Amino acid sequence: MSNAKAPQPATQQPASNQAPTPARRSWLYRAWDSDVAYSFRTSPMAIIAGFTALVIITMAALAPWIAPFNPYDPSSLNLMDGFTPPMEPNAFTGNTYWLGTDNQGRDVYSTILYGARISLFVGFMAVLFAMVLGITAGLIAGYRGGWVDSFLMRVADVQLSFPSILIALLIFGVARGFIPPAYRETMAIWVLIVAIGLSDWVQYARVVRGATMVEKNKEYVQAARVIGAHPVKILVRHILPNVMGPVLVIATIGLALAIIAEATLSFLGVGVPPTQPSLGTLIRIGQQYLFSGEWWILLFPAVTLLALALAVNLLGDWLRDALNPRLR
Amino acid sequence: MLAFIIRRVLQSVLVMLVVALVSFSLFRFVGDPINSMVGQEASIEDRAALRDALGLNDPFVVQFVRFVGNAAQGNFGISYRLQQPVMELILSRLPATLELALISGFFAFVFGVGFGVYTALKRRGWLSNTIMTVSLIGVSLPTFLIGVLLIWVFAVELQWLPSFGRGEVVDLGGWWRTGLLTDSGRKSLILPAITLGLYQMTLIMRLVRAEMLEVLRTDYIKFARARGLTNRAVHFGHALKNTMVPVITITGLQLGSIIAFAIITETVFQWPGVGALFINSVRFVDVPVMAAYLMLIALIFVIINLIVDLLYYAVDPRLRVDRAKTRH
């Protein structure tokens, strides 16, 4: 693994988005001056992707404050406003909406903002869950070795032979079966997060295990062991920071995959409940009105999902190249 | 060799047993099986008698063994929702899914290898660049979105192809009903097959391209050129032949993925296959269908993986050495 040196700049990379001034020679300046930040500044693809992702994530996070309407407040809806085409006044009420309205008269622009919020929430939480699970398993397997290692890696092998969307779907279905009907709706988002997270932990575990096996034989770990540090402390304080580089790359690409997985499950009608529509749910609704010519209900959520997934994917690709000097 | 086969088969059996345990717990712990069988007016004594007759009071292990025995004979009980034997339901829909999966796999393989070879040989051509860029979008586009977009363009706007169903089917005797022999059946197959095969196609294409580029750099290709062989003989007789082993393996493994991804495609195109049946069973928590599908898909995956592993072992002598090294 050539990534032993790389994680240092990697952990500071997000700061480069905030356009720091070189006046203060603080960590901000060091971040701006690092290899990864330089690679970001000189890659137009990374800048465009980063900008797109940042815009969508910010707008989604601020949805309740910047959306013109609250699409899930029934009192603000008017059925007469339904099926308004984008940028055209409605035939009955004369109201104009940027991206039109859907069947129930909800502003498509607002539903997209709220939908992206849910998609991103599920995506981030699922990645976080997979990361914690995978890193823990990987650290233990790599550091301990022996039967723990063989067991975890055998489980990982078996899981890896199934596609992750299928695993997520099966876990979701099984978990739904075990939850009492009264809680199915309210628990759906968390079940979804756990299902997507569980379907994706293997990647982290494998990479962290590999890196840990390399790191644990280095002098600094031996030194820590000699002064009597607790194994948990060695793993968390000493080994973990040095294996984070590749983990960040997997997490970025994993975020794109998690967003797509969530959208797919919601599109299939087995994801988030209809009261909390994500981008996938919106596309599902849009597909129903495709034949009657209301294309905007489908197109705008689809474009948002595509832009988000593509931007995060490209960021992941760039990060992998930037953190791995061997590929250049 | 024999030890490897035995270990591999045992591992597969173990995986199947774990999956069976999950399916069985679904049956046993989701709701009360008696409640879903008898009506409201059944007395407590009747219920107790039925419970005894069905053996629900037996120890867990006994029940599990009985479940595995029944499952091995294809007996999964009766669907809660459709009130038909589960195996009958699955068998009547399996041909639709298999036809779709095999045609998609064929399409993905032919075009994937073709494009892969082309982009590897004409690395700087504009057509190669276009194919590579489009393939990047193809990887980022979620499967369901591809399906929806295809429906929009070819079914709604151009009205060339049907957007749902299987068209007319012909009975081939027994339970196999095929759509391949009628015009409308073939037409209905086109869009779903492209949707399902596109992702696999890009995967195969990228793999073939990478392998070809690797092989074209080797000495024996240089030597073949030095011998004055035609380009055609070098490219197809030597280079392509040597890239095919990993490609065939991956394609074999992808067949399982195709059957899994068929869940999504079948839902988009309302294709009356096993995947659509499964999605509905998840939505309505129809436990017998879920359990049976879980076992079926696990069985397909385990068998495919087993065959591919054994083939690999037989085909490539180098792997035997490698495997021996990593295992011990």
pLDDT tens string B135-192: 877 777 888 888 888 888 888 888 788 877 777 777 776 667 777 777 778 888 888 9
Nearest CA in chain A to B264: A268
Residues of chain A found within 8 Å of residue B297, distances taken between Cβ atoms: 166, 170
How many Å apart are CA A53 and CA A63, to the nearest integer?
15
How many Å apart are CA B166 and CA B163, to the nearest integer?
9
Question: Is B280 at the interface with chain A, CB within 8 A?
Answer: no
Q: How far is B81 from chain A (nearest CA, A)?
A: 14
Q: Please give the pLDDT value at position B174.
A: 66
Q: Please give the pLDDT value at position A122.
A: 93
Q: Please give the pLDDT value at position B150.
A: 87
Confidence of residue A1 (pLDDT cuts 50, 70, 90): very low
Query: What is the overall mean pLDDT for chain A?
Result: 81
Q: What is the dihedral of CA B320, B206, A306, B278, to 10 degrees?
A: -50
Residues of chain B found within 8 Å of residue A295, distances taken between Cβ atoms: 152
Across the interface, whether the CB atoms of B282 and A176 are under 8 A apart is answered: yes
Nearest to B29 among A173, A178, A313 (CB): A178
Q: Please give the pLDDT value at position A124.
A: 94
pTM here is 0.80
Q: How far is B11 from chain A (nearest CA, A)?
A: 9
Across the interface, whether the CB atoms of B301 and A162 are under 8 A apart is answered: yes
Residues ≥6 apart with Cβ < 8 Å to B137: A310
ipTM of the complex: 0.77
Question: Is B132 at the interface with chain A, CB within 8 A?
Answer: no
Nearest to A306 among B141, B281, B290 (CB): B141
Confidence of residue B38 (pLDDT cuts 50, 70, 90): low
Q: How far is B235 from chain A (nearest CA, A)?
A: 27
Nearest CA in chain A to B21: A174
Q: Please give the pLDDT value at position B31.
A: 62
How many Å apart are CA B75 and CA B295, to the nearest integer?
12
Q: What is the mean pLDDT of residues B205-215?
A: 86
What digits encode the pLDDT tens for the residues A96-106? 777 777 777 77
Across the interface, whether the CB atoms of A264 and B267 are under 8 A apart is answered: no
Q: Please give the pLDDT value at position B315.
A: 65
Nearest to B282 among A165, A263, A270 (CB): A270
Q: Please give the pLDDT value at position A137.
A: 92
The answer, yes or no, to whether residue B325 has pLDDT greater than 60, is no
B237-257 b/e with 16+ CB inside 10 Å = b? ebbbebbeeebebbbbbbbbb
How many Å apart are CA B97 and CA A130, to the nearest integer?
32
The answer, yes or no, to whether residue B311 has pLDDT greater than 80, is no
Q: Please give the pLDDT value at position A281.
A: 86
Confidence of residue B32 (pLDDT cuts 50, 70, 90): low
Q: Which residue has the higher pLDDT, A296 or B34?
A: A296
Residues ≥6 apart with Cβ < 8 Å to B3: none
Q: Please give the pLDDT value at position A126.
A: 94
Residues ≥6 apart with Cβ < 8 Å to B307: B252
Residues in chain A: 328
Neighbours of B282 (CB within 10 A): 23
Residues of chain B found within 8 Å of residue A287, distances taken between Cβ atoms: 148, 151, 268
Average the pLDDT over each of A43-52, A316-325, B219-228 and give the range with the smallest value: A316-325
Across the interface, whether the CB atoms of B142 and A295 are under 8 A apart is answered: no
Interface mutation target, options A149, A154, A166, A318, chain B, most CBs of B under 10 Å: A166
Question: Is B305 at the interface with chain A, CB within 8 A?
Answer: yes
What digits encode the pLDDT tens for the residues A174-224? 787 777 777 777 788 888 899 999 988 998 998 899 888 888 888 888 898
How many Å apart are CA B266 and CA B281, to the nearest integer?
14
Interface mutation target, options A150, A161, A285, chain B, most CBs of B under 10 Å: A161
Q: What is the mean pLDDT of residues B81-100?
A: 84
Q: Please give the pLDDT value at position A16.
A: 47
DSSP state string for B184-217: HHHHHHHHHHHHHHHHHHHHHHHHHHHHHHHHHT
What digits encode the pLDDT tens for the residues B252-310? 777 878 887 888 888 888 888 888 888 888 877 778 888 888 888 888 888 888 887 77
Q: Please give the pLDDT value at position A11.
A: 44
Is there a contact between A71 and A281 (Cβ–Cβ < 8 Å)? Answer: no
Q: Please give the pLDDT value at position A328.
A: 40
Question: Is B29 at the interface with chain A, CB within 8 A?
Answer: yes
Is there a contact between A302 and A116 (Cβ–Cβ < 8 Å)? Answer: no
Across the interface, whether the CB atoms of A268 and B144 are under 8 A apart is answered: yes
∠ CA A188-A166-A173, nearest 5°, is 35
Residue that has been written with the tokens 């990379």 in this structure: A13
Query: What is the overall mean pLDDT for chain B?
Result: 80
